[in-house]
Amino acid sequence: MPSKKTSPQTSPDTERRAAERRVPPKAEPKNTPQPLSFTGEGRVDASPEELRKLISEAAYYRAKQRGFEPGHELEDWIQAEAEVMRRVAARGA
Protein backbone atom coordinates (compact mmCIF):
# COMPACT_ATOMS: atom_id res chain seq x y z
CA MET A 1 0.00 0.00 0.00
CA PRO A 2 1.55 3.35 -0.99
CA SER A 3 2.07 5.85 1.80
CA LYS A 4 0.84 9.43 1.65
CA LYS A 5 3.55 11.68 0.31
CA THR A 6 4.16 14.94 2.11
CA SER A 7 6.34 17.85 1.16
CA PRO A 8 9.73 17.98 2.83
CA GLN A 9 8.69 21.00 4.93
CA THR A 10 5.55 19.45 6.46
CA SER A 11 4.79 16.25 8.26
CA PRO A 12 1.42 14.58 8.79
CA ASP A 13 1.42 15.87 12.40
CA THR A 14 2.07 19.43 11.24
CA GLU A 15 -0.76 19.22 8.72
CA ARG A 16 -3.13 17.81 11.35
CA ARG A 17 -2.29 20.56 13.84
CA ALA A 18 -2.79 23.22 11.18
CA ALA A 19 -6.19 21.76 10.29
CA GLU A 20 -7.20 21.77 13.98
CA ARG A 21 -6.37 25.47 14.23
CA ARG A 22 -8.68 26.31 11.33
CA VAL A 23 -12.03 26.82 13.00
CA PRO A 24 -14.94 27.82 10.79
CA PRO A 25 -16.78 31.00 11.83
CA LYS A 26 -19.84 30.46 13.98
CA ALA A 27 -22.99 30.53 11.87
CA GLU A 28 -25.83 32.69 13.13
CA PRO A 29 -29.22 30.94 13.10
CA LYS A 30 -31.67 32.36 10.58
CA ASN A 31 -35.06 33.76 11.50
CA THR A 32 -34.25 34.08 15.18
CA PRO A 33 -37.04 35.96 16.91
CA GLN A 34 -35.76 39.17 18.36
CA PRO A 35 -36.85 40.30 21.81
CA LEU A 36 -39.44 43.02 22.15
CA SER A 37 -37.97 46.48 21.94
CA PHE A 38 -39.58 49.85 22.31
CA THR A 39 -38.92 52.91 20.21
CA GLY A 40 -39.14 56.51 21.32
CA GLU A 41 -42.28 57.03 19.22
CA GLY A 42 -44.39 54.66 21.32
CA ARG A 43 -44.09 51.82 18.80
CA VAL A 44 -43.21 48.30 19.78
CA ASP A 45 -40.77 46.40 17.64
CA ALA A 46 -41.41 42.68 18.06
CA SER A 47 -41.04 39.78 15.71
CA PRO A 48 -44.29 38.69 14.07
CA GLU A 49 -43.68 35.17 15.38
CA GLU A 50 -43.45 36.40 18.95
CA LEU A 51 -46.60 38.51 18.72
CA ARG A 52 -48.54 35.69 17.04
CA LYS A 53 -47.51 33.28 19.81
CA LEU A 54 -48.64 35.67 22.55
CA ILE A 55 -51.96 36.35 20.80
CA SER A 56 -52.54 32.66 20.12
CA GLU A 57 -52.00 31.78 23.78
CA ALA A 58 -54.32 34.55 24.97
CA ALA A 59 -57.03 33.46 22.50
CA TYR A 60 -56.69 29.86 23.67
CA TYR A 61 -57.23 30.83 27.31
CA ARG A 62 -60.26 32.95 26.35
CA ALA A 63 -61.77 29.96 24.53
CA LYS A 64 -60.97 27.64 27.45
CA GLN A 65 -62.61 30.04 29.90
CA ARG A 66 -65.93 29.79 28.02
CA GLY A 67 -65.70 26.01 27.56
CA PHE A 68 -64.46 26.03 23.93
CA GLU A 69 -67.96 26.83 22.69
CA PRO A 70 -67.67 27.01 18.88
CA GLY A 71 -68.46 30.12 16.88
CA HIS A 72 -66.42 32.65 18.88
CA GLU A 73 -62.96 32.04 17.44
CA LEU A 74 -62.66 35.37 15.62
CA GLU A 75 -63.96 37.29 18.63
CA ASP A 76 -61.45 35.46 20.87
CA TRP A 77 -58.61 36.32 18.52
CA ILE A 78 -59.54 40.01 18.20
CA GLN A 79 -59.92 40.43 21.97
CA ALA A 80 -56.67 38.55 22.60
CA GLU A 81 -54.86 40.72 20.06
CA ALA A 82 -56.11 43.90 21.74
CA GLU A 83 -55.13 42.54 25.17
CA VAL A 84 -51.61 41.57 24.06
CA MET A 85 -51.03 44.90 22.33
CA ARG A 86 -52.17 46.78 25.46
CA ARG A 87 -49.82 44.72 27.67
CA VAL A 88 -46.89 45.13 25.30
CA ALA A 89 -47.47 48.90 24.99
CA ALA A 90 -47.71 49.22 28.77
CA ARG A 91 -44.24 47.66 29.12
CA GLY A 92 -42.81 50.34 26.85
CA ALA A 93 -44.31 53.25 28.77
89 domain residue, yes or no: yes
pTM above 0.85, yes or no: no
Residues 6+ apart with CB under 8 A from 37: 44, 45, 46
pLDDT in tens, 18-71: 666 665 556 555 554 445 554 444 556 678 899 999 999 999 999 999 999 999
Q: How many domains does the chain have?
A: 1
Q: For 58-80, what is each residue's pLDDT tens digit?
A: 999 999 999 999 999 999 999 99
Q: Which domain holds residue 78?
A: 47-93
